[in-house]
Amino acid sequence: MREESQETTSSQCCRNCEAALPDNAFFCPRCGQRNTDGRVTFGELISHFLANLLNFDGRIFQTIGALVVPGKLTKDFFAGKHIRYYHPVRLFILSGALFIAMLSLTASRANLDAMDKIWKSREDAYALKKVATEIDTLCTDIKQEMNTPAVAVALDSLKSRFTKNHLNAIKDSVKISDVISIGTTDSLAVTKVALDDLISLKGEELADKYGVTGLWDRQIFLQNIRIQKSLKGFLYYMIGNTLWMVLIMMPMLAVALKLLYIRHDYLYIEHLIFSFHTHTFIFLFYSLLLLAGLWAGYEFLNYAILLIGVYLLMAIKKFYGQNWGKTILKFLLASVFYFGVMIVAIIITTIASMFLF
């Protein structure tokens, strides 16, 4: 392979911004791009890809170090220290993705298959019912061809044993009903659907057969069927939407903080960045606890909310700089508003998930 010198892999002007370069310059003083003729090795390609994807450099340690000190990261950010720390929104998204990954890993270790046990038993009962019907038809045909008392007794005994050992056993174990109630937009109005139809027919066919009309009623009817058939899948889908749920909360929380500190000259964006930073800490903190819980159990998660509360109280005190009396009062008011916003966000996310699942 031909070895290229510095002169053959560089130029006198930046290939990116076309600024003049000093002699033997390795990087452009204006835009920071490396001085090159445009060729890259495979190693450089992979390195640049990972750097742009993860942007994992020394700033991550500085950012985390500032984040664990309540309120410091937000205070430094608005003091003009931007370059040394990760962008607040990127940091929030990365920490949220890590939290979702840990939450999914934790859920995968739980016995979630039991969530779909009822539906699986319904399918088994339906399959056995079809077999029982076929056996009954076959026995009837045999009786007609071999009309003897001994054959009739043997066939009746076969049907009885099959029903006792299989079909009735499954129905008794999970109390399977032959009719399933499927809800629509009106929580008091449900459509009674035969189990045989629910298993054998597709969603649109069921809606047509049972006369479910109207855009919203029909959509919710179909989504309820999908969810009943895969509760575990719906749970994972909800976990995947956790980040969007918290993202919905951020602007509303910033409004609450703006109202609590309306007599001060804080801009709305300052409250928003504060919300991003505090929730980044919450994501990382719970990710660490979930990771530890894989080996040590999850009993200590009951106390995590107390530690989070202390962190948020100290962060508010550090960033807004008021005395402890006003800080505690506003912390309590913000907490009440927070849980109200969380309920709204959960409702919005659940409804959206039901329609998109």
Number of C-beta neighbours around residue 250 at 10 A: 19
Whole-angstrom Cα Rg for the chain:
32
pLDDT computed for residue 165 by the predictor: 60
Residue 54 clears pLDDT 60, i.e. is over it = no
The residue type of 70 is P
Instruction: Yes or no: say if 229 and 119 are a contact pair by the CB < 8 Å rule.
Output: yes
Residue 37 clears pLDDT 70, i.e. is over it = no
Q: Which two tokens stand for residue 225?
A: 């069927």
Handedness of CA 126, 128, 133, 134 (dihedral sign): positive
pLDDT band at 314 (very low <50, low <70, confident <90, very high): very high
What distance in Å separates the CA atoms of residue 333 and residue 31, rounded to the nearest whole number?
47
Helix 149-162 to helix 117-145 angle, to the nearest 10 degrees? 180
Closest by Cα among 93, 97, 99, 100 to 239 = 100
* Digit-coded pLDDT (tens) for 213-248: 777 778 788 888 888 777 778 888 888 888 888 888
Q: Could you report how far apart the first and last alpha carbons of the chain are, in Å?
A: 54
Residue 346 clears pLDDT 70, i.e. is over it = yes
pLDDT average, residue stretch 64-88: 89
Handedness of CA 14, 19, 20, 21 (dihedral sign): negative
